[in-house]
Amino acid sequence: MAGMSTPPPLRVGLVGYGPAGAFFHAPLIAATPGLVLDTIVTADPGRRAAAGSEHPGVRFADRAADLWGRAGELDLVVLASPNRTHVPLATEALEAGLPVVVDKPLAGTAAEARALAALADARGLLLGVFQNRRWDGDFRTVRDLVERGALGEVRRFESRFERWRPRLKGGWRESGDPADIGGLLYDLGAHLVDQALTLFGPAALVHAEAAAVRPGATADDDAFIALTHASGVRSHLWMSAVTPRLGPRFRVLGSTGGYVVHGLDPQEADLRAGRRPGDGAPWGEVPPAGWGTAGTDGAEAAVPTLPGDYPAFYAAVAAALRAGTAAPVTAHEAAAALDVIEAAHRSAATGGTVRL
């Protein structure tokens, strides 16, 4: 339209340049039209060198607090820092007047998540949670099948995020200190629970098993959650670091057919390998050998996996910031998932079923 000009890009400050910052947030922010990676917070010389090479012209800060005094120069802060920092840093950012995206889990408790949501709502600021696996290709395919009724009435949803890592790697993700918010229920479980609630709505009953089974482990590294949704659907969710033979990623059982798919969405591996959205190659696509099948035994057919689309998350964040609308994944949604994770911890400790 005549007279219209492109608005200036939204400037992003990224706190943390470990795996989450380096392999997920920074490249996805940089690939999003309308966003520019302005400042990275890391005091580590090696990480600064890597970030400067990958993102020429980016500025650096030693501490997240350095951003709050420059709040007028930024339009968004992204927290890719250790879990224990999420609540205090998100609180400081919101109090400085900055919209925030926080890597999952948003907090260690649903109460903390709801307090952050209330603060953001009171300030009129966006508060989003990076639940990128809503944009996995296999999950997008499951969601499409469910929403189209292609499997009839879904009765049971099975979802696995399993790995074979028989030895501890160390670090806060494997810490048993509750302040670190470590263990698989908070890590992989945050994705699996979010996906189940996205598909089938609120959970009514939670039963879980969780154990620390590797030598020296102090945080759960093998867990299972059974959810009964208010809708009546049952979700069975496995997360494990000690699985020498992997099960299907998804098995969805409905009244007229089922869907089974193996393997993992390729986007994380591609990002870790240095491939980037917009490099020219198709992004997030799964070759036919990796497609799942739907139907009944003896009458199943391959279902093309929809392309994975992690870039859609930050595109939606940019659109929400410009329109003043909600984030693509809200803190209220994250709190509902944390209700389930907290209930899973209680169930695993007592052997009972928790009613939400």
pLDDT value for 278: 87
Q: What is the spatial distance between Cα 250 and Cα 222, in angstroms, rounded to a whole number?
A: 18
Count helices and strands (H / E) in the chain: 11, 15
Q: Which two tokens stand for residue 321?
A: 């910031």
CATH assignment at residue 88: 3.40.50.720
Give the pLDDT confidence score for residue 182 in this predicted structure.
Answer: 95
Output phi, psi for 70, to 5 deg: -110, 25
pLDDT tens across 222-272, in order?
999 999 999 999 999 999 999 999 999 999 999 999 999 999 999 999 999
For residues 91 and 22, state if they share a domain.
Answer: yes
Asked if residue 267 and residue 159 are part of one domain, the reply reads yes
Q: Is residue 333 part of a domain?
A: no
| Residue 348: HSE in the Cβ half-sphere, 13 Å Cα cutoff | 20
The residues that bridge with 77 in the sheet, in sequence order, are 13, 100
Using an 8 Å Cβ cutoff, are 320 and 184 in contact? no
From residue 313, alpha-carbon distances to 24, 60, 128, 328 in Å are 11, 24, 10, 7
* 125 closest CA partner among 156, 86, 99, 157: 99
- The answer to the question of residue 2 being in a domain is no
Q: What is the CATH number of the domain that holds 240?
A: 3.30.360.10
Residues found in the chain: 356
> Could you tell me if residue 1 is inside a domain?
no
For 49-120, strand residue ranges (E) read: 59-61, 76-79, 100-103
Judgement on whether residues 90 and 148 belong to the same structural domain of the protein:
no
Residue 334 lies in a domain: no
Does residue 318 sit within a domain?
A: yes
Give the list of residues 6+ apart from residue 323 with CB closer than 8 angstroms, or none. none
Confidence (pLDDT) at 5 = 78
Whether residues 206 and 99 share a domain: the answer is no
For the record, the structure tokens of 151 come out as: 């499997």
Q: Is residue 90 part of a domain?
A: yes
pLDDT tens-digit readout, 184-195: 999 999 999 999
d(CA 148, CA 137): 16
Q: Are residues 143 and 270 in the same domain?
A: yes
Residues 304, 320: one domain? no
**144 in the same domain as 56:** no
Same domain, 164 and 277: yes
Residues 21 and 71 in one domain: yes
The list of the chain residues with pLDDT below 50 reads none
Instruction: Report the first-to-last Cα separation within the chain, whole angstroms.
Output: 52
pLDDT in tens, 48-89: 999 999 999 999 999 999 999 999 999 999 999 999 999 999
**In a shared domain, residues 82 and 127:** yes
In sequence order, what are the beta bridge partners of 164?
242
The answer to whether residue 4 sits within a structural domain is: no
Asked if 176 and 213 sit in the same domain, the reply is yes
Question: Residue 180 is part of which domain span?
Answer: 136-309+339-355
Task: Name, in order, each residue with C-beta under 8 angstroms of 81's C-beta and a sequence gap of 6 or more.
Answer: 15, 16, 41, 64, 89, 103
Q: Which pLDDT score is estimated for 280?
A: 83
User: Do 110 and 208 share a domain, yes or no?
Assistant: no
Q: How many CB atoms lie within 10 A of CB 215?
A: 8
| Total count of domains within the chain | 2
Residue 3's pLDDT is 55
Neighbour count for residue 355 (Cβ, 10 Å): 10
Give the alpha-carbon dihedral of 170, 174, 176, 180, to 10 degrees: 100
**In this structure, is residue 229 part of a structural domain?**
yes
Q: Are 320 and 326 in contact (CB under 8 A)?
A: yes
